[in-house]
Structure 1
Amino acid sequence: MSTIVKNPKHSFTIMNELVLPNDTNTLNNLMGGRLLHWMDIAAAISGQKHCNRIVVTASVDNVSFQHPIKLGDVITIEAKVTRAFHTSVEVRLDVWAENIPSGSRQKSNEAYYTFVALDSNGKTIPVPELVPETEDEIELYAGALRRRQLRLILAGKMKAHEAIELKDFFFKA
């Protein structure tokens, strides 16, 4: 019997962090590795909320660094499950940097992480289906299948000719 999560907001996480001196490089910018660590935590929380299980990181892709994040900035990481597959979920992350004294806030990063759900023996286990409701959720949900196929091709787990949704996207009649 499969479980269906009808409200994707259930799998939504907001995490805040303050950029301290130990988090920065010699230019007083947040180190990318530290941000990726925080993003992994936020994404894992969303995945676990959706699956009601422990999840482990399977892949990280499409991380873009648009603006440096400075010492003293407050980081807000928004993580949301965009689609559930058989034993995995895709999580979309958006990262915002806010300078409290100036009141400025800008988007600095976005990424997609994939997690696999595990049972108590460390074996993969089916995850609940996700039913998108809003227009944005439906768009992210549809794109998740293409992103998954691309990830599988790049990992050598799928042949390019098997990626039907990617072909349809690029070769519309």
Structure 2
Amino acid sequence: MRFLSRRLVMPNDLNYANALFGGRALEWIDEEAAIYAICQLETNCLVTKHIGEISFESPATQGDIVEFGLATKKVGKTSITVTCLVRNKATKKTICLADDIVFVRVDPDTKLPVPHGKTIEALVAQTQEEMKSLNIL
């Protein structure tokens, strides 16, 4: 799992208990997972089809920096399934895990599913090349 981005928990992100509001966390997860899927499939013509199990493990409070780890679970003909782990940057405690987030590539005009032409093997190779070019490996 690669941790690709971070956010600062601000006062507007809190619920009545002064912890990160679950709805805000889900908004961030959908956005971060979509960006990840767009980069993987090299197209921005994607829609969120499904978000599977969501498990909230520990709270985040104002001032915490949270980071988003993303990984590809499965690649279909028109879809990609990813997992997103949200954790506290300082403590590494899991805040939330969203599993089986499915994005589908759609035609920009008809909005119907269309093949993306990628395989899991191609995405693994693409990621390795990207990491090499960034001197991460």
Instruction: Please report how far the alpha carbon of residue 130 of structure 1 lies from its aligned counterpart in structure 2 after TM superposition.
Output: 1.0
Helix, strand or coil at the partner of 1:104: coil
Per residue, is there more helix in 1 or in 2?
A: 1
The Cα offsets for residues 60-84 of structure 1, whole Å up to 9 and x where unpaired, read as 1111001111111101011222211
The Cα offsets for residues 16-35 of structure 1, whole Å up to 9 and x where unpaired, read as 11000000012110000000
The Cα offsets for residues 91-149 of structure 1, whole Å up to 9 and x where unpaired, read as 11111113xxxx4331121112111011221221112111286xxxxxxxxxxxxxxxx
Structure 2: unaligned runs, 5 residues or longer: 125-137
Counterpart of 2:134 in structure 1 is none
Question: Following the alignment from structure 2 to structure 1, what is the Cα–Cα distance between the partners of residues 39 and 3?
Answer: 9
Question: Following the alignment from structure 1 to structure 2, what is the Cα–Cα distance between the partners of residues 23 and 108?
Answer: 14
Root-mean-square deviation (Å): 1.9
Deviating above 4 A after TM superposition, structure 1's stretches of 4 or more consecutive aligned residues are none
2:50 to 43, 59, 62: 59
Counterpart of 2:23 in structure 1 is 33
Counterpart code for 1:70: T
Q: Are the counterparts in 2 of residues 46 and 79 from structure 1 also a CA contact under 8 Å?
A: yes
How many residue pairs match? The answer is: 119
Find the structure with the greater CA-based Rg.
1
Does 1:115 pair with 2:97?
Answer: no
Counterpart of 1:43 in structure 2 is 33
Does 1:126 pair with 2:95?
Answer: no
Question: Following the alignment from structure 1 to structure 2, what is the Cα–Cα distance between the partners of residues 13 and 124?
Answer: 29
2:14 to 24, 30, 43: 24
1:106 to 93, 101, 105: 93
The TM-score with structure 1 as length reference comes to 0.63
Helix, strand or coil at the partner of 2:20: coil
Q: Percent identity?
A: 28
1:95 to 82, 86, 89: 86
Question: Following the alignment from structure 1 to structure 2, what is the Cα–Cα distance between the partners of residues 42 and 65?
Answer: 17
Helix, strand or coil at the partner of 1:75: strand
Q: Are the counterparts in 1 of residues 105 and 114 from structure 2 also a CA contact under 8 Å?
A: yes
